[in-house]
């Protein structure tokens, strides 16, 4: 793995992590801190999503660190949309 690839991976991971940190900060300012932040399972899954963001940025050969940060920031949103679509599909199939 080249230093350029490592830079892209780390930038995407940072972008993904920043989304959660900004959301947590916003919740704390509003006084509505979600209970999920107290659960270890949430942080394990969130960590996996951060790593997946970096891995996907490398696979898609994102050309710059700036774009990798943006790519990392949208990855959790894409995962959430895929999960919501899967849940919706299962509900429609249930009698």
51-62 pLDDT, tens digit per residue, is 999 999 999 999
As a whole number, the mean pLDDT across the chain is 91
Residue 89: predicted pLDDT:
80
35-86 pLDDT, tens digit per residue, is 888 899 999 999 999 999 999 999 999 999 999 999 999 999 999 999 999 8
Q: How many domains does the chain have?
A: 1
**How large is the average pLDDT for residues 12-28?**
93
pTM above 0.75, yes or no: yes
Q: What is the Cα–Cα distance from 11 to 14, expressed in whole angstroms? A: 5
Q: For a pLDDT cut of 90, what percent of the chain falls above it?
A: 71
Q: What is the Cα–Cα distance from 24 to 37, expressed in whole angstroms? A: 8
- Please report the sign of the dihedral spanned by the C-alpha atoms of residue 44, residue 49, residue 54, residue 58: positive
Range of the structural domain that residue 87 is part of:
3-93
Residue 58: predicted pLDDT:
95
């Amino acid at each position: 793995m080249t230093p350029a690839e490592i830079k892209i991976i780390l930038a995407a991971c940072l972008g993904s992590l920043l989304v959660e940190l900004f959301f947590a900060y916003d919740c704390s300012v509003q006084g509505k801190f979600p209970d999920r932040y107290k659960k270890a399972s949430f942080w394990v899954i969130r960590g996996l999503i951060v790593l997946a963001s970096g891995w996907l940025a490398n696979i898609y050969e994102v050309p710059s660190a700036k774009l990798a940060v943006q790519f990392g920031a949208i990855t959790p949103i894409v995962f959430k949309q895929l999960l919501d679509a899967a849940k919706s599909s299962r509900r429609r199939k249930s009698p």
